[in-house]
Amino acid sequence: MAYWPDLNVPRLPCSPRRIPSRTVTREAPCPKHSRLSLTVPLHLSPGQLRLTNRVVNNFLDPNEPTSSEARQSRMHFLDNQRKVDYVLVYHYRNRGAHPSHGSFSHPRAPLAVISNGEMGKEPNAAGQGNMMIEMGPLDALEEEKKEQREQFEYKLMEAGLELEKDLENKSQGSSFVRIHAPWQVLTREAEFLKIKVPTKKMYEIKSKGTIAKKFNDIVQKMTSPLQPRVPEHNDKMKNLSYPFSREKMYLYNIQDKDTFFDNATRSRIVLTIFIFPSFTGIHSLIAHNIYEAAYPLHDVGILLSLSFEKQCKLLYQEWACYGVFYKFQPIDLIRKYFGEKIGLYFAWLGLYTSFLIPSSVIGVIVFLYGCATIEDDIPSKEMCDENNGFTMCPLCDKSCDYWNLSTACGTARASHLFDNPATVFFSIFMALWATMFLENWKRLQMRLGYFWDLTGIEEEEVSYLEHSRPEYETRVREKMLKGQKNHVQKMETDKTESEDEDDDELTWKDRLPGYMMNFASILFMIALTFSIVFGVIVYRITVAAALSLNKSTRPNVRATVTATAVLINLVVILILDEIYGAVAKWLTKIEVPRTEESFEQRLILKAFLLKFVNAYSSIFYVAFFKGRFVGRPGSYVYVFDGYRMEECAPGGCLMELCLQLSIIMLGKQLIQNNIFEIGIPKLKKLLRKLKDETEPGETASSESKHPEQWDLDYSLEPYTGLTPEYMEMIIQFGFVSLFVASFPLAPLFALLNNVIEVRLDAKKFVTELRRPDAVRTKDIGIWFDILSGIGKFSVISNAFVIAVTSDFIPRLVYQYSYSHNGTLHGFINHTLSYFNVSQMKEGTQPENSHFGQEVLFCRFKDYREPPWAPNQYEFSKQYWSILSARLAFVIIFQNLVMFLSVLVDWMIPDIPKDISDQIQKEKSLLMDFFLKEEHEKVKLIDSAQRSPKSLTPSFRHFSRQSSRHSSQSQRGSQRGSHASSASQHTIV
């Protein structure tokens, strides 16, 4: 492997980094507004000046024009041989390109190609004069960035990577650095990362002829029209996989070195080099605007007329098009193209969407049952019967009049659609549904992990998520510098090891201010959410009182107030969701987590907590608190002077809960999940395009006519992670499971949304986002724990919704304890208490009452003693019996559902039996294959030592290569030695 020679690298006063020597002289120690000078030899011609400080490619002359036939592939260097594995982008501004200076710029060639082979030689400038070019503050900043980029690229080439770089031939613009990892680098890093690759050994996956297998075969035949038209994954044959080792190359079927490692693996290897501790991490360079972006390329241009076998075109046609919404997802192709982490997300989303189908069917049946039995519902009939003459107490003071219960007939009939005996069955079903979904996901996850070689990944592979974040390293450096500054006179040579360790990492004392800020900020955000909910309550109370003063608006007061309040809640939720997402990210940054994995987990927990409270707080209020603290006539609870706490509708709060849940759920799905996801990326892309067109020197006519793949990818949106995608589905899962007793159609609307969401996310990943870095992971991480927690909490919430919010328990108690004939006749009269209107407080009586008859007693919904009883208006025996029944139902419901969930969990093993058998079989086969190959190798070496003349030249070359690898591994670097020694152990 060829490296650059050791250069004389000076250290700048302004930067701790070491940079290659340049012809730059400093006139000052680089203060903020110092002026720099660039020494340019006067004798050089423009052509000679173009060759100064250039690295010339050892494969292709950059000055030689390239034919159109040679540039058919937009994934390679200009030589059309070396594949582009990664791209770095930076924005440059040549000296004098800003308004405060002249317009001097160097003549440039159209392209400079950098490789790790040779250096361009500068002409001898001895004895020649120089001209001085003054540089201002902006020039100094650009020069500093350029030096840091050169140092980083120099280290990349030291690591063996090959670079191709655009020359800065305009006053300003974006320059692309293409990076290629040659075979030597790929093998070295694959060995260090312990990447599993297929061996030459294939074996047949045999499964027993069980009933489940026969059923699966029948299902596969029936669903064959729904399968995507992609190369079929052979689930009958599988390659044995083993961590890559350069000493055991004979184990692997290496037919083509260019395709042995796929593009996702190649880019992952390059990214690992970027963030290795000996480098200044690429993420830190991007954060400091040294580079603008770093990304791997999409395999092909989507709109090009290329061969059908191209992965990206296949994904676009069979996955990212809305016309194939009815088909299954090509999960194996998604995983191969985007990596395991994104593949697992779409596999989870597909399973969740498919599980919504049976729950949607049952929910529709429950809703239709309510529609079919609405005419047979005795309580709603009694409420709608005008002959009953239930005169109700005024809903507000002074302006509200007495009213007849039959005017609320529509609300009572609508409530029966969602408040019927089938709702209890549906709640139990949905609790078991959540358990079944999680258990099946664990099984699918294990199955995918087996076929994707993810078993034992935590012991075998090194993840870039385990490396320290740039922000963490910066804080550690600041801590060390501060400690040296404060204790410079106290530092002794016998410093203890524990003190050194404290300086190398952040302790809880260093993080205490961040923790305190997190705690205070989260409490403030939760209090803000509750305050907004209280504000909406005040809005409902005041607007209801105001509308009651007008005769024309009085009949529609409740519907108007409820609808407008829900819409206000929806708008507030959408706004706070965006704010809370940014706040959660900021709070996680000030905690300074050490690794990317820790950062992601803490961010998810904070964002979920804030968005959970934001999305469900108003729903919890309607479900469990509204109407519980109203008081009674003559002793109402007031929010402000003259404004009473709001009551539930005559038919109960369940109908209002259903309305609140449906509008918020559908509004979030329609506006946030679809319109925002489609509109905002397109708007950003349009603004970026307009900015590029208006910025001088950015584009050229030739480049705009034939853009390269790296130009096309740079115009796409950067990938920001899967957290927003998971979060919206988790919140939806809460809507589906937490309050499904009040809205059985929630799974149906979630299913319709997810059918679109899958294709929307697919199109976004394929056509609108830069290609993400491939990340290997064995599960969906903390999201499974959140799902499991929501599933358990949904059992409690649905139990209380049925027991407290609906009338299921009062009807049951009345039917079996107080009814004379075992029916619900008389139930409405049983739920209404009496109040003597003469006992109303002074000033609260209705003014100018127009009620048709004289009122002595009015009715209100509660279980209290009548005014003629000795303990008038106290809670009656019916109240305590119903309260006891409600608590008993909650306990029985929770224990029953929990028992059934544990039973389902026990009956469905986490690891499928065939997969566990195949894992054990694979270990045995791998051991046999390993021993057989080692035995063959020893036999060949022994025969070579006995009769070396009879060997073929290829085998003699193989023997020399094996010896050379062995010697290199013994005296290699620490990194290579570690990889080699680790690969000698067989993981069986």
Q: How far apart are CA 49 and CA 837, in angstroms?
A: 102
Place of tokens 């041989």: 81
Closest-CA residue to 241 (of 535, 39, 449): 449
Closest-CA residue to 624 (of 742, 532, 737): 742
- The DSSP call for residue 87 is E
Which tokens belong to 126?
Answer: 């001895």
pLDDT score for 941? 76
Closest-CA residue to 657 (of 729, 567, 562): 562
CA distances from 165 to 112, 140, 183, 630, 736 (A): 5, 22, 20, 73, 52
Q: How far apart are CA 823 and CA 381, in angstroms?
A: 13
pLDDT score for 610? 93
CA geometry: angle 766, 771, 773, nearest 5 deg: 140
Q: What are phi and psi of 635, to 5 degrees?
A: -150, 55
Q: How far apart are CA 103 and CA 854, in angstroms?
A: 95
pLDDT score for 820? 86
Q: How far apart are CA 94 and CA 113, in angstroms?
A: 19
Closest-CA residue to 813 (of 831, 796, 799): 831
Q: How far apart are CA 824 and CA 811, in angstroms?
A: 7
Place of tokens 């009814």: 819
Q: How far apart are CA 294 and CA 281, in angstroms?
A: 11
pLDDT score for 287? 79
Amino acid at 657: L
pLDDT score for 136? 58
Please count the CA atoms within 13 angstroms of the CA of 131 that sit on its side-chain side.
Answer: 5
Closest-CA residue to 726 (of 645, 802, 785, 780): 780
| Binned average pLDDT, 10 residues per bin, the chain of 988 residues | 34 34 35 33 36 34 42 71 89 63 38 46 40 58 84 87 82 86 90 85 70 71 76 70 84 84 88 72 81 86 40 77 84 89 93 94 92 87 82 83 83 83 88 90 90 71 60 74 63 46 67 87 93 90 78 71 88 91 90 84 92 92 86 85 79 83 88 75 74 56 63 86 90 91 90 90 88 88 92 90 88 89 88 89 79 83 90 90 93 90 84 80 80 77 68 49 45 38 31
Which tokens belong to 704?
Answer: 């705009």
167, with CB counted inside 10 A (0-12, 13-18, 19+), is middle
- The DSSP call for residue 468 is B
pLDDT score for 882? 93
pTM to 2 decimals? 0.81
